[in-house]
C-alpha cells in the first residue's frame, strides 16, 4: 500500500480501479509543403479553426445546460484564444513563409504558449497552459481527422488518472462509471477542479509525477477531504473506507430531516448556519439544506471566462436573483477577490508571488471604475432584501476607509439620481491576514461585522502556499498560532459588539465545530452540502462542553495533538460515523 498526498479540491471518497489517461496527442513530425500548396494549406487551417470554434461553442452549451451558464463560461476564454489575432498570425506566418504543414504550425505555435505558461511562477497563470493544450489537441484532432470529442468513459467503476484534464474532457466525462479524478498538476482554481466540484466528484490534484508509476486497473482510494490517493490499499484500509462510504450515504439520508430545525445546542445556544456560494443558481441548494442565509457570496465568476468586464447591470441582475431566491434571508456580497493576473491575463506583468501582490481590495482600489460599478449594483440590490457588503483581504485602515469613501460617494450619486438604496447598508471586512486581527479593535469602530476567512488566514499566518503540494503538509488549521488569532478576532468583535462569522473551509469541517462553538463563534458560513452535518453536531452538544474543549486546546502547543483531540471528541459524539 502506498499513500500519495495531493491537494483536495472536491470532497468525498471514491474507491475503484484506475483508468490511466494519456494525452493521446497526435504525433506531429516536421514536414514542409511546396509553395504551390500554401493557399490550400491555409484553407485547411481556416477550416480547422472554424470547426474547433464550433466544438468549443457546443461544449459551452452542453456544460451550461447541465451545470449553469457560469460553468459554461469557462469555454468563452477558449473561444477567445482560438480567435486571438497574435496566435492566428503566428500560424499563418508559419505556413506562408516557412512552408510548414498546418499540423506542424499548430504544434510549434501552441507549444510556445504552453511552455511559456508552464514556466511562469504565478500559479494562476500556469493553469492557462492547460487551456492552450486543450486548443492544440482539438486543432490537431481535426487536422488529422481523429476523434474531435474524446469522451472519458468506462465500462466499470473507475477513477481517472491523468497528467491534467482539459475543460473539454471534463465536459465530456461519462458520469455513469467515473467515480473520481486524480491529476498530477493543477490547483483549487483550475477549471478541472471547478467542474469536478460542480459534478460532486471526489477529486485530488497536484499529486505530482508519481501517477506515471500507476497502471490501469490498479485499485485506488481517493480521499477528497484529505487530498490523499491510496494506491493498492490493504484489506483493512478498504474495509475502513467502505464503511465510511456507507455511513456517509446513511447519514445524508438521515440528515435531510434536520433541514427545517434550528441549530440550537442542548443548553440553548443558537448557532446561525449560513452558506457560501459562487453562482446564483446555488440559492436552491441553500434552501434545500436549510441555510439561514448566504454568509459569503463570491462574485469572481462575473469576471472569469468572459470576453469583457461585467457591466453594472450584469452585477445587479445576479445579485437581484440571489436576493429574490433566498426569500428575505441575509445575503453577504463579497467584492472582487481575485488577482490582477486573473482579470488582465497576458496584459498584466506576471508577479513572482501573487498571494502578496495586487489582488482583492488592492486591485479594486487600483481599478476604481470597475469597483464603482460593483458597489453601485450592490447598493441598488440592497433595497430588495437584507443585503450586506464585505471587502476582502483588508490589511490596513487606509484600505477600509478608501473603500467606504467610494461607497459614500456612490450613495450621494444615487441620491442625486433619485435611485433608492438601503441607507443603513451593513459593511464588513474579511479577516484573513494577521494584520487585520491585530488591529481589529480599530477596524471594529468603522464596520458592522467581520467574517473570518480561515483559508487565507492559515496561509498567511504560517507562510504556507496552500496550493503548493511541496509544503501542503505545513498547512494546518489546528496550528496553535492560527487558533490564537481566531480567538483574538472573536474576542475583539464581541468586545466591540459587532457580528462575527467564520466562513473558511474550517467552518465546514465537522472536526472543528465543537472547538469553534467553544471559542465563542455563533455564526458559521459553509458550503451548502456541509450544513446538515454541522447542524447535527450543534444540536447534539452543549455550549458548555464545547467551552471546556476550547480551554483544553488553548493549553496545547502541538497541532497534531490538537487535531487528534478534536477527532476523539467527535468520535465520542458519533461513534458510528467518524
pLDDT at 347: 45
The reply to whether 1-24+149-234 and 27-144 are identical in fold is: no
pLDDT at 423: 95
The CATH number of 1-24+149-234 is 3.50.30.10
Residue 133 is assigned to a ligand binding site = no
The answer to whether 501 and 525 are in contact (CB under 8 A) is: yes
Domain 27-144 bears CATH identifier 1.10.274.10: yes
CA angle 220, 221, 227 (to 5 degrees): 120
The CATH number of 247-267+478-577 is 3.20.20.60
Residue ranges of the chain whose pLDDT lies below 70: 22-27, 29, 65-74, 120-127, 146-153, 167-168, 171-172, 188-192, 194-195, 198, 211, 304-307, 339-352, 466-469, 472, 576-578
pLDDT at 557: 93
Judged on CB neighbours under 10 Å (0-12, 13-18, 19+), 316 is buried
Residue 44 is assigned to a ligand binding site = no
Residue 184 is assigned to a ligand binding site = no
Residue 456 is assigned to a ligand binding site = yes
Among the CATH numbers 3.60.9.10, 1.10.10.10, 3.40.50.720, 3.20.20.60, which is that of 272-431?
3.20.20.60
pLDDT at 500: 98
pLDDT at 346: 46
Residue 298 is assigned to a ligand binding site = yes
Question: 80-130: per-residue pLDDT in tens?
Answer: 888 888 888 989 999 998 899 998 898 888 888 888 777 766 555 666 777
Residue position matching grid coordinates 459614500: 408
Residue 455 is assigned to a ligand binding site = yes
Greatest Cα pair distance in the chain: 87
Domain ranges of the chain: 1-24+149-234, 27-144, 247-267+478-577, 272-431
Global pTM value: 0.70
Q: Which residues are catalytic?
A: 191, 503
- Core vs surface per residue 378-392: b (16+ CB within 10 A) or e: bbbbbebbbbbbbbb
Amino acid at each position: 500500500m502506498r499513500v500519495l498526498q495531493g491537494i483536495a479540491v472536491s470532497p468525498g471518497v471514491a474507491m475503484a480501479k484506475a483508468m490511466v489517461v494519456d494525452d493521446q496527442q497526435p504525433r506531429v513530425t516536421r514536414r514542409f509543403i511546396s509553395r504551390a500548396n500554401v493557399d490550400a494549406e491555409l484553407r485547411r487551417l481556416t477550416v480547422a479553426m472554424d470547426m474547433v470554434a464550433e466544438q468549443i461553442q457546443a461544449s459551452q452549451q452542453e456544460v451550461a445546460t447541465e451545470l449553469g451558464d457560469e460553468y459554461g463560461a469557462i469555454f468563452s476564454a477558449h473561444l477567445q484564444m482560438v480567435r486571438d489575432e497574435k496566435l492566428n498570425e503566428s500560424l499563418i506566418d508559419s505556413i506562408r513563409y516557412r512552408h510548414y504543414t498546418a499540423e506542424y504550425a499548430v504544434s510549434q505555435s501552441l507549444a510556445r504558449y504552453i511552455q511559456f505558461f508552464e514556466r511562469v511562477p504565478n500559479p494562476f497563470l500556469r493553469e492557462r497552459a492547460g487551456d492552450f493544450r486543450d486548443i492544440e489537441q482539438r486543432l490537431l484532432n481535426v487536422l488529422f481527422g481523429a476523434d474531435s470529442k474524446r469522451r472519458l468513459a468506462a465500462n466499470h467503476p473507475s477513477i481517472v488518472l491523468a497528467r491534467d484534464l482539459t475543460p473539454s474532457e471534463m465536459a465530456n466525462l461519462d458520469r455513469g462509471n467515473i467515480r473520481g479524478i486524480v491529476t498530477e498538476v493543477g490547483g483549487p482554481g483550475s477549471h478541472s477542479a471547478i467542474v469536478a466540484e460542480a459534478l460532486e466528484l471526489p477529486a485530488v490534484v497536484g499529486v505530482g509525477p508519481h501517477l506515471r508509476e500507476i497502471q490501469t486497473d490498479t485499485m485506488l482510494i481517493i480521499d477528497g477531504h484529505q487530498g490523499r490517493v491510496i494506491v493498492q490499499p490493504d484489506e483493512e484500509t478498504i474495509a475502513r473506507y467502505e464503511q465510511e462510504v456507507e455511513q456517509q450515504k446513511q447519514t445524508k439520508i438521515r440528515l435531510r430531516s434536520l433541514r427545517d430545525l434550528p441549530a440550537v445546542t442542548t443548553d440553548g445556544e443558537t448557532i446561525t448556519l449560513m452558506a457560501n456560494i459562487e453562482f446564483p443558481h446555488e440559492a436552491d441548494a441553500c434552501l434545500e439544506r436549510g441555510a439561514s442565509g448566504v454568509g459569503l457570496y463570491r462574485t469572481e465568476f462575473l469576471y472569469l471566462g468572459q470576453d469583457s468586464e461585467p457591466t453594472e447591470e450584469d452585477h445587479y441582475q445576479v445579485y437581484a436573483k440571489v436576493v429574490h431566491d433566498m426569500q428575505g434571508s441575509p445575503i453577504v456580497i463579497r467584492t472582487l477577490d481575485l488577482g490582477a493576473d486573473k482579470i488582465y491575463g497576458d496584459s498584466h506583468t506576471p508577479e513572482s508571488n501573487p498571494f502578496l501582490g495586487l489582488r482583492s481590495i488592492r486591485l479594486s482600489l487600483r481599478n476604481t471604475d470597475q469597483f464603482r460599478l460593483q458597489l453601485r449594483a450592490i447598493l441598488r440590490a440592497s433595497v430588495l432584501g437584507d443585503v450586506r457588503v464585505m471587502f476582502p483581504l483588508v490589511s490596513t485602515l487606509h484600505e477600509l476607509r478608501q473603500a467606504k469613501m467610494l461607497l459614500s460617494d456612490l450613495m450621494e450619486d444615487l441620491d442625486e439620481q433619485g435611485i433608492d438604496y438601503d441607507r443603513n447598508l451593513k459593511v464588513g471586512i474579511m479577516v484573513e491576514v494577521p494584520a487585520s486581527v491585530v488591529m481589529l479593535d480599530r477596524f471594529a469602530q468603522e464596520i458592522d461585522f467581520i467574517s473570518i476567512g480561515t483559508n487565507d488566514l492559515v496561509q498567511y499566518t504560517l507562510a504556507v502556499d496552500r496550493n503548493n503540494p511541496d509544503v501542503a503538509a505545513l498547512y494546518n488549521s489546528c496550528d496553535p498560532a492560527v487558533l490564537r488569532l481566531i480567538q483574538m478576532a472573536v474576542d475583539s468583535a464581541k468586545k466591540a459588539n459587532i457580528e462575527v462569522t467564520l466562513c473558511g473551509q474550517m467552518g465546514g469541517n465537522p472536526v472543528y465545530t465543537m472547538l469553534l462553538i467553544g471559542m465563542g463563534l455563533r455564526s458559521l458560513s459553509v458550503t451548502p452540502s456541509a450544513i446538515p452535518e454541522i447542524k447535527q453536531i450543534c444540536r447534539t452538544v452543549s455550549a458548555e462542553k464545547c467551552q471546556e474543549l476550547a480551554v483544553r486546546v488553548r493549553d496545547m502547543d502541538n497541532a497534531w495533538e490538537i487535531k487528534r483531540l478534536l477527532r476523539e471528541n467527535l468520535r465520542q459524539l458519533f461513534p458510528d460515523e467518524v
